[in-house]
Structure 1
Amino acid sequence: MINGKNPPDVGIQLPESKMEMDSPLDGNVNGKAEVMQVVLRALCLVTSVTALSLMVTAEQASTITVLGFNIPLHSKWSFSHSFEYLVGISAAVALHLILQLLISGSRLVRGSPTISSRNHGWLIFAGDEVFALALMSAGSSASSVSSLNHSGIRHTALPNFCKPLHHFCDRVSTSIVFTFFSCFLLAILVVLDVRWLSSKH
């Protein structure tokens, strides 16, 4: 009854059994990575919108004494090119993230991969990297202006403007913190984009 057909049958069944066990595992890993990307994008959207809203509402009027004279002060985010730059970049990042969330969220709900093709992956990677660098640039530029407002200018009569304008300076500083946090989240997304692209070789 024993013939040469049984070993090949057993040999064929083992790989098939192994494939059936590995396949769901790979799907779970990919699914978790896609959900993580969506969550990170949603969190980055929240921080970007927070940075944007804090900056555009930064405005205060007060008075300051210079050489014995009381001078009225009115400070607003739009008076600084660096702050305007931060607002513009934060708004662009928010729009980028909303678009990506709409695409990836809808595909995730349908059970499809959030990234449809390698070209789509490269496009997302380029967008995430460009906006991460832009946020870093905007945050650094705004930080230098904010630091000058806090410290004043040495060896001149110009004082610390943030003493009479503390409400304005606090909102600006908090906005800058959220800007750098958004940059950090986008940097994480860039790393995840690279991992996805490298896995598709």
Structure 2
Amino acid sequence: MTAAEGGAARILRFEDLQVSPWANGLGETRELAAYRTTDGALVWRLSIATIAAASDFSALSGVDRRLMNLGDGPLSLVVGDDPVTVPRHEVVSFRGEDAVRALHANGYDLNVMTGRGRATSSLGTVRIQGSAVLAGTAPALLAVVALDGSPVVTVGDGVAALLPLDCLLATPGRDIAVDGDSTVAVVRIAPT
């Protein structure tokens, strides 16, 4: 998508993402994109984490979290004192202050984190059969993450094929056209 690089959209290739440890050191993540205030406070963050074993999630005060299970099977969590089963490609939401524990290894998950009072988010899946246009609405940011298949995405004059776990991040207000039989995660992040 060279025509759109740095302009209407950015392609973030999963294979190019740097691996970093979780804040608590008990897992690893790959940051797709993030935005912070000038003093370093989180506005939003989009990442793909690896759940390689039963482990506690990092505590993140003042952050609202959405997690989409990208593993092959259900993900079993305990959020506070409540057991939660998250089916593949489904989403669970929780506060960063909540005690959250994964009960088993499950591969990858897609995370959207927003600073409470700074931004809000939505996260879901869309099954594409043929083509679809995902409408962008300023000032919200719109992102698409390929979950299966090889969707071809278009923003303005830029066109690119995504592989599984690749992400297209569109500038606010831009529509994303998606072609090809695939399932994609759709992320919307809006400032508050």
TM-score (norm 1): 0.22
Higher fraction of helix? 1
Bigger CA radius of gyration: 1
Higher fraction of strand? 2
